[in-house]
Every structure is written in structure tokens, then in C-alpha cells.
Amino acid sequence: MAAFKYNTVNFIFSVSYLIFIFSAHSSKAELRRLQQPAKPDGTLSFLVVGDWGRRGSFNQSHVALQMGEIGEKLDIDFVISTGDNFYDNGLTGLHDPAFQDSFTSIYTAQSLQKPWYSVLGNHDYRGDVRAQLSPMLRALDKRWICMRSFVVDAEIVDFFFVDTTPFADKYFVQPNEHVYDWRGVLPRQTYLDNLLQDVDVALRESSANWKIVIGHHTIKSAGHHGNTIELEKQLLPILYANGVDLYVNGHDHCLEHISSADSKIQFMTSGGGSKAWKGDVNQLDPQELRFYYDGQGFMSVHISETELRVVFYDVSGHILHHWKTYKDELYFASY
Ligand SMILES: *[C@@H]1O[C@H](CO)[C@@H](O)[C@H](O)[C@H]1NC(C)=O
């Protein structure tokens, strides 16, 4: 009798545990969350660079040098990489010298010895994707933090890093001569459905003052690649619905700022880490296209509880464009 009672209790416990696990996986497969402390005064500063790893060539070293200078001036807390970290074909494995030659030996300034939160670009998917995602790389350079999709909780701001390459049909339908490493992504539709749901849940649950979403691919761009229609259709409505402040990307090798007529969201491209000067800029509504620069450079962001400031710099560290927005109690009351 005692044994029966025990088994019944045990059974009920197991079933509820299974329901818990099942629901945790089906409706809320949470994104990995990392904690990034803000400064003691509550503010944060960081740099954003994209499309860079070319062993210093195409002005990569010059951009790196200026990042070091500006990084020191702003006393940055970390760096964000918007992907296409290693050209042309990602890393071949954990021992690919490109990691040293294009990252560790290039971004040597003291101010850049901070966490580098990185996403993958389409070029990174052409290599051994698991090598670039491996935490073992941190033994070679402890700054390197690269995951497919994750959240960085920095107190006043939450960052949502989204793996955008699997959204783009062309890499699957027309890979041409390129071989993409889709391990961990297939079946594709399940991967995308889960990812969109995870991003939506994470955004909805965020209580940070500011919400910034980072991906490699453009959502809106006047550059060579233009808009990414798959992201416009699938990701953008989630960003609109959750009051996202900035979408930050690379992919187009330029610097640009686009605002939106129907939302407060701003689209910032920082893809000028090395090769640039593509020379083909598309026409865009000048009301929306606030700034476009075809050449190399990077972006800085400074955030306090009530203010967010974005600055774009060229290869010599000259300011090309800046933009500011505010949130005050009035804003919170009416929002
Ligand atoms: C390096 O930057 C300078 C200044 O913007 C530019 O004139 C030059 O074309 C760049 N070099 C390359 C290879 O992009």
C-alpha cells in the first residue's frame, strides 16, 4: 500500500515534470541570456563594426586603429560585430590562422580588449560554422563571444542577436559554387519558426528601457544588397509589435541610417569594417534615408536611461553623421 502511494505520487510528479519540460520547449525555448553590467553611473558605450575579417587589408587595419582611438575616448564597455567576420569562407576549423590574422592581431588597442558580441554572416556559414561558434576559441582570444541567436541583458538596454542568414532563400535555392554549413539549422522551416517565436517571446518579456535588435542582413537598405524581403515579411512585424528602438546590421559594406515613416524604429547599417566603395546606391525616399556613406568606417552608441546617441565615423575617425533620441517619463506615460 505504501509502495502504491509512493508510486502514485511519483507518477503525478513525473507527469507534471514532463508537462513542464514539454511546455518549456514547445512555447518558450528561451534564447541564451548573457549579463553585461552597465557603468556605475548607469550608462553604456559600445562600438559596432561589420564585414571585416580580411587580414588587415582593404583598410581593415585603419578602421581598427580608429576604433581603438574612439573606443578609448568613449570608454567603451564592449564591441558588437554584425557578422561576415572571416572572409571569404568563414573559419576552416578551430586552428584556422584567420582567427588570429583577422581578429586578434588586428584589433589590438587596449580599449578594444572587451567582450566582442558577434553574430554570423552568410560568409561565415561557408566555413566550419561550429568552429566559429565554439567556446574553445575563447582560449585563443577571450573576447570572442559568437552565437547564432542570443540576448545580452545590459540593465538599461536589452540586445537581441538574431541569426539572419537562414532566412534568405537564395543561399538555399541558388547557392552557386558555395557550400553552406547548415548543421544545426535543418529542417529550415522549423528552425525559422522557433527562432521567430523565441525572439518574439524574449522581446515581449523584456522590461529594459531600450531594445536593440542585431542581425547580419539588412531589413532596409539603399546599398548593393538592398532590403531583405524575407526579414521584412517575417522579422520586421515582430520588431514593430514590440517597440524596438534600433535594428543594427551589416551585409551592405557601407554606413547608413534609415528611419521609418510608420514606426519609431531606426535601421542602422555598420558594414564598413574592410572592403567597401561598391559604387551602387539605390534611390530611397530622402525622408527615410537620413545618411549613406559608401566607404569604410564604424559606429558608436552611447546609452543612458533617457538618451540614445549614435555616431558614424570614417576610416580616419572623422564624424560623418550623428543622431539622438530621448525617452523621458512623459514618454513612458504615453507609450
Ligand atoms: C582606404 O580609405 C581611403 C579613404 O577613405 C580610400 O580613399 C581608399 O580607397 C580606401 N582603400 C580601399 C582599398 O578601400
The predicted-structure confidence for 166-190, as pLDDT tens digits, reads as follows: 999 999 999 999 999 999 999 999 9
Cα separations (Å) of 208 from 152, 204, 244, 245, 271? 11, 11, 11, 11, 27
Q: Which residue minimizes the CA distance to atom 9 of ligand 1? A: 277
Per the confidence metrics, is the pTM higher than 0.85? yes
Residue type for 126, please? R
Across the range 278-293, mean pLDDT stands at 90
Mean pLDDT of the chain: 92
Q: Is 59 in the pocket of ligand 1 (CB under 6 A)?
A: yes
Higher pLDDT, 23 or 123: 123
Q: Is 293 in the pocket of ligand 1 (CB under 6 A)?
A: no
Q: At 24, is the pLDDT very low, low, confident or very high (cuts 50, 70, 90)?
A: very low
Across the range 121-148, mean pLDDT stands at 98
Tell me which of 134-138, 286-290, 319-323 is least confident. Answer: 286-290
Q: What is the pLDDT of residue 8?
A: 47
Say if residue 259's pLDDT is above 90: yes
Say if residue 115's pLDDT is above 60: yes
- Using most ligand atoms within 8 A of CB, pick from 62, 65, 314, 315 the residue to mutate for ligand 1: 315
**CA of 314, closest atom in ligand 1:** 5
Q: At 57, is the pLDDT very low, low, confident or very high (cuts 50, 70, 90)?
A: very high
Percentage of the chain surpassing pLDDT 90?
A: 86
Say if residue 11's pLDDT is above 60: no
Q: What is the pLDDT of residue 286?
A: 81
Say if residue 2's pLDDT is above 50: no
Clarify whether 178 is annotated catalytic: no
Q: What is the pLDDT of residue 330?
A: 55
Say if residue 106's pLDDT is above 70: yes
Say if residue 331's pLDDT is above 60: no
Q: Is 274 in the pocket of ligand 1 (CB under 6 A)?
A: no
